[in-house]
Structure 1
Amino acid sequence: MKDVDRGALTISAVLAGVAGYVDAIGFLDTGGLFVSFMSGNSTQAAVDVLGPGASVTLASAGIIAAFVAGVAAGGVITALRARPRGWIVGGSTAAVAATAALALGGDSTLWRVALLAAAMGALNTLFLADGRARVAITYSTGTLVSLGLAIASAVTGGSRHAWQRPLLLWSSLVCGAVVGALAHGWGSPLALAIAAATLALVSAFLATRRSAESV
């Protein structure tokens, strides 16, 4: 994460907030499943696989598959496009906007959360290096590991400031989840429309930044 500049870190923090926000909405809509936190869905699927909740296992597996598909799509875009970030955020914006429209029409919750999971998966491919994500945008476990290692580094004579970046991302995700839970009270269509609008602003910012860099 230390090789990510401040502009990219700001974008990452905003997107982590959106991920937490959307995850809270998905969690409340499904009654306990996630669109960003795949470790939670994996555990949920495993717990219910032999119990009475086989349908929960199938739903969890479907959401995980959608998330992985989103990551794969982002990876393909990164490989084929010279400046893929705008495409990735733009595609995620369209997916979240589509879920808002589906929610307004009252369509199946699982179709909506699958789209959201794919969008969140794609966001993790914004900052790739050597086939790995340099910034864990939607999953807090990797960010907390980075935080713990940064604290260890500070204690043992390393950088005294490296802990600030993972703490910022984790805090952004948690704060986003709090706001998402509150926004859910206004109804999923409006709450998801707000998320889509935020992503659209990030996409526009990326386009402006790209234009400025090309001058």
Structure 2
Amino acid sequence: MKDVDRGALTLSAALSAVAGFVDAVGFLDTGGLFVSFMSGNSTQGAVAVLRGDASLALVAAGVIAAFVGGVTVGGAMSIRTARAQTWVVSGAAVVVAVAAALALGGSTTLWRAGLLAAAMGALNTLFLADGRARIPITYSTGTLVSLGLGLSALVTGGSRRGWQRPLLLWSALVAGAVIGGVTHALGSAAALGVAATALAAAAAVVAVRGRRTPRPR
């Protein structure tokens, strides 16, 4: 995270806010499942198995599979160029827009949850290095670990700024979740429409950044 420039960090924070927004909408729609936080769904699914709730266990597994599928598609595009990043964010915007249209048509919530999970999974492939995500866009556990390590460095005489970027990303995700929860009162279709619009705007920013970035010779 510390090697990412300010422009990319700002974009990441904006996308984290959208992820929190979408996760809150998905959580409220499904009554307790997440579309960007798969650790929570893994625990939910395991508890459901222990309780004999096969339906919930299968739904949790399906959402997790959709998320992994989104990551797989994004990773397969070899996120190394700005153009590939533009396609990933644009694709996520389209998928969320489809979910909004399905909500407007009164479709099953589970189909929408799967689409949203796939879109959120793909966003985590925007900043890769050595096969790993340098910046976790849609989940906060790794970000909080980085925050804790940054604070430990601060109190032991190390870097004085290492905690700032993780705090920014975590705060953006939480703020997005709060806004998503409030916006959900307007209806799932409207809330997801807002998220799709935000992702489309982010895709435009990524495209502009790509044109400004010098191509390697």
TM bucket normalised to smaller = over 0.9
Gaps of 5+ in 1: none
* Secondary structure class of the residue paired with 2:83: coil
2:45 aligned with 1:64, yes or no?
A: no
The count of aligned residue pairs is 215
CA offsets 1:81-140 (integer angstroms, 9 cap, x no match)? 673110110110111000000000111111101000000000011000000000011111
- Separation in 1 of the partners of 2:175 and 2:95? 22
Q: Which residue of 1 is the match for residue 8 of structure 2?
A: 8
4+ long deviations beyond 3 Å: 79-83
Aligned 8 A contact 2:21 2:176 in 1: yes
**Between the two proteins, what is the percent identity of the paired residues?**
65
Alignment check: 8 A CA contact 2:27 2:35 kept: yes
Q: Residue 53 of structure 1 corresponds to which residue in structure 2?
A: 53
- Whole-Å Cα distance in 2 between the matches of residues 158 and 127 of structure 1? 26
Question: Which consecutive residues of structure 2, in runs of 5 or more, have no partner in the other structure?
Answer: none
Comparing 60-69 with 153-162, greater Cα deviation is found at 153-162
Letter paired with 1:128: L
**Counterpart for residue 96 of structure 2:** 96
With over 3 angstroms needed to count, the CA separation of the structure-2 counterparts of 1:80 and 1:158, relative to structure 1, is closer
Q: Is the 8 A contact 1:88 1:122 kept in 2?
A: yes
AA aligned to 1:49 is V
Task: Give the whole-Å Cα distance in 2 for the aligned partners of 1:126 and 1:82.
Answer: 9
C-alpha offsets along residues 143-171 of structure 1, whole Å, 9 cap, x if unaligned?
Answer: 10010011111112211011000000000
1:52–1:189 Cα change, 3 Å:
same
Judge conservation of contact 1:102–1:112 (CA < 8 Å) in 2. yes
Give the TM-score normalised by structure 1: 0.97
Q: Do the aligned partners of 2:71 and 2:124 also contact (CA within 8 Å) in 1? A: yes
**Using the alignment, how far apart are the partners of 2:79 and 2:144 within structure 1?**
29
| Aligned partner of residue 137 in structure 1, secondary structure | coil
Amino acid aligned to 1:146:
S
Report the CA distance shift for 1:124/1:167 in structure 2 as closer, same or farther (over 3 A): same
Deviations 1:29-61 (A, max 9, x none): 000000011010000000011324211110000
**Aligned partner of 1:193: which letter?**
G
Contact between 1:77 and 1:87, CA under 8 Å: does it hold in 2? no
